[in-house]
Structure 1
Amino acid sequence: MTVEWGTPAGRAELAVLAVHGRDQDPAFMRATARRLGPAPVRFFAPEADGNTWYPLSFLEPIERNQPALDRSLRVVDACLDRLAQDGFAPGRVVLWGFSQGACLLAHSVLTRPRPVAGLVLFTGGYIGSAPLPPPDGGVLHGVPAVVRSIEDDPWVPRHRVEETAELLRRAGAEVDLRIDPGTEHVITDEACATATKLLTTAAAHASGGPGRRW
């Protein structure tokens, strides 16, 4: 099931694929979206079976999270294909995830990259115990990416967030990384404000407006 909200599809400059975390659902992403400022975007939020995209920690070897991980990556692919059919080509789609959803999207972008309009990763990183090579081909060149986390988050270690940001940079993305002090698994007001800036700038770019993408 996919939940939609925001600007009507016919008037939206961008689509945002909003992917929830473990033990959450699209309602969490919709509530969080209210913390973002206004932007001409339509949100599309898929729901994971049992409210989890894969069973174990994202730091476990990839095979331990199979076959659920591959199934969830196919959900992301199917959502992007559906958005393209609805008129939102990859260059008009921003990927936004929190926690397990951010991990799923980070892994998707780094292992099967598409030329998206932007990337917002709140407290997540690529999946698996082994390092990932950066994607080649320049698909992510110039893609704005907001990466945010908390210093001592109980589930997502700082080093994996930093490693993910570095992989995105090496793949050509324009990464804005910030890790705030704290011990809670939360999304800060600053993270929401910066994500809003990305959305409004990407929407202006998609509509042919002036200025940089980010």
Structure 2
Amino acid sequence: MTPAIDGPRLPAASGKATSLVVFLHGYGADGNDLIAIAREWRRLMPDAAFVAPHAPERCMASPQGRQWFPLTFRDPDERRRGVLAARPGLDAFLDAELAKNGLGSDRLALVGFSQGTMMALHAGLRRKTPPAAILGYSGMLVSPETLSEATGKPPILLVHGDRDDVIPVDALFAATDALGAAEIPVEWHLAAGLGHGIDGEGLRQGAAFLASNLKPKKMTLRTASQG
């Protein structure tokens, strides 16, 4: 049975959500670690609802925190097995949250940090209906050789610190190379002097990226003469 997922939420500032932004936290943290970002971003995205689910498993390395899947850093295949095992539970949560807000799957944006970025990229690229955008901080693309499984090509922004000693910056360039080769639109930002974290400029660029991609699509009116 897939473990239930839940976490802190912030409703749309306008009172009516037209999009949903989901934060996926890193290894050893929980949803409270990222929901504070929503309080800043809702000024730019007043029609977005925000949620930051706690990952389904307790983290052995940090008993007060959570994990999307175990990490020992000794088994090169553990990340692939991990994202595969965690994806069904995350997908079920995303579907439930969209339904709760009365939104279609194309009104979803995923924001990940570290292990959460691994989940955002893996699950987001394989959803039946691609999300409106994927934003990843300090993470990596797991199993780039399986990108042929991608069901769509949502816009992606990846942000990474050049002093990251947890997930080295090489992971950023490996991800952008693989996504580019798969013709999936990807932008990237390298934060000078930043370690494994998110800085103000990264937050600014991330918010602008999401706001742009979550704008409601304009309807094109057809006249009788246009057939």
Q: Provide the TM-score with structure 1 as the length reference.
A: 0.81
Give 2:148's aligned residue: 135
Deviation at 1:47, TM superposition (A): 0.7
The Cα RMSD (Å) is: 2.8
Paired residues, what number?
Answer: 204
Give 1:73's aligned residue: 87
User: Please, which runs of 5 or more residues in structure 1 have no aligned partner?
Assistant: none
Larger CA deviation: 149-158 vs 163-172: 163-172
The residue type equivalent to 2:147 in the other structure is P
> In 1, Cα distance between the equivalents of 2:212 and 2:109?
11
Deviation at 1:68, TM superposition (A): 5.0
Task: Decide which of 48, 54, 57 is 1:47's aligned counterpart.
Answer: 54
Deviations 1:163-182 (A, max 9, x none): 22233333443321111222
For the residue of structure 1 that corresponds to 2:52, the secondary structure is strand
Percent of aligned positions with the same letter in both sequences?
A: 24
Q: Could you say if the C-alpha distance between residues 161 and 112 of structure 1 is closer, same or farther in structure 2, counting changes exceeding 3 Å?
A: farther
> In 2, Cα distance between the equivalents of 1:198 and 1:29?
17
Give 1:85's aligned residue: 99
Q: Could you say if the C-alpha distance between residues 209 and 144 of structure 1 is closer, same or farther in structure 2, counting changes exceeding 3 Å?
A: farther
- Structure with the larger RCO, 1 or 2 (CA within 8 Å, 6+ apart): 1
Q: Is the CA contact 2:163–2:169 (under 8 Å) kept in the aligned structure 1?
A: yes
Q: Map 1:55-66 to 2 at 5 A.
A: 55-56=70-71, 60-62=75-77, 64=78
Deviation at 1:183, TM superposition (A): 5.1
Deviation at 1:18, TM superposition (A): 0.9
Give 1:94's aligned residue: 109
For the residue of structure 2 that corresponds to 1:178, the secondary structure is strand
> In 2, Cα distance between the equivalents of 1:172 and 1:2?
34
Q: Map 1:106-121 to 2 at 5 A.
A: 106-110=121-125, 114-121=129-136
User: Please, which runs of 5 or more residues in structure 2 have no aligned partner?
Assistant: 1-5, 59-65, 221-227
Q: Provide the TM-score with structure 2 as the length reference.
A: 0.77
Q: Map 1:177-188 to 2 at 5 A.
A: 177-182=188-193, 184-188=195-199
The residue type equivalent to 1:167 in the other structure is A
Give 2:61's aligned residue: none
> In 1, Cα distance between the equivalents of 2:197 and 2:37?
11
